[in-house]
Structure 1
Amino acid sequence: MAHCKWGDAPYTIVNLDGTTAHILVKGRNRWALNCLSTAGNIGCTPVNNPAPRWSAYVFNLREMGVQIETIHEPHGGDFGGLHGRYVLRSLVLPGHVEVMQ
């Protein structure tokens, strides 16, 4: 069996209010969390970071306790409208880390 680059990985999430969560993320959800972490305050859009279901990955990560802000931005073109920019608001630490409050 081939090694999966996006297999299960543990993370510690520290939210703005000081709450923490230990989560296990894999697959596209892990890919999206990595993209959001790398993007910082610039965030990610489906236009700049193409993926089939950004809204689903964001939903799943939020269900795990990750704080992600959605900023609605206009775009033009033949099919103008709004798209979402997703910005990570939690601190994401690799592994299960005990955080001092």
Structure 2
Amino acid sequence: MKIAATFLRAVVTGPDGATRPLIVTGRLAWALGHLIEAGNKGCTPLDNPGPRWSAYVHKLRTDFGLDIETVHEQHEGPYPGTHARYVLRSQVDLIREV
């Protein structure tokens, strides 16, 4: 399933089993859709180009309380260094996408 929404309605289930509603719009919905779709593989700015992945992840963590892991990976090429891989650890179940 390809999630390319600008509006997501979902339910987040916490570690204690408690659920809460979640509504995300715009580029945050785009980023969350990619994270949900990627599962444990996660997303990188290299594989899923987005202008501000780190900002989207920060807002999803701080404003929406989602658990998103950052894994730092090495990359080679003409500009070797590291990049981030973001993995959604919260259980998020979609109700609706638009």
Q: TM-score, normalised by structure 2?
A: 0.82
CA distance in 1, matches of 2:51, 2:10: 24
Code of the residue aligned with 2:34 in structure 1: it is: C
* Displacement after TM superposition at 1:17 (Å): 4.9
CA contact (8 A) 1:15 1:89 kept: no
Task: Measure, in 1, the Cα distance between the counterparts of 2:72 and 2:53.
Answer: 14
The answer to whether the Cα contact below 8 Å between 1:15 and 1:66 also exists between their aligned partners in 2 is no
Q: How does 1:19-38 map to 2 (within 5 A)?
A: 19-38=18-37
In structure 2, the partner of 1:52 is 51
- State the 1:22 CA deviation: 2.2
RMSD of equivalent CA atoms:
1.8
Moved over 4 A (4+): none
Separation (CA, whole Å) in 2 of partners of 1:78 and 1:17: 46
> Counterparts of 1:12-23 in structure 2 under 5 Å?
12-23=11-22
Tell me by how many angstroms 1:76 deviates.
Answer: 1.1
Q: Which runs of 5+ in 2 are unaligned?
A: none
So what's the TM-score if we normalise by structure 1?
0.80
Give the partner amino acid of 1:91.
Q
Check 1:27–1:18 CA distance in 2 against 1; reply closer, same or farther (3 A cut). Answer: same
- Distance in 2 (alpha carbons) for counterparts of 1:41 and 1:94: 17
| Count of aligned pairs | 91
Note the residue ranges of structure 1 that are not aligned, 5 or more in a row.
Answer: 96-101
Within-5 A mapping of 1:69-88: 69-88=69-88
Shift of 1:11: 1.8
Identity of aligned residues (%): 50
CA deviation map 1:45-85 (0-9, x unaligned): 00000010000110111011111000000011222111000
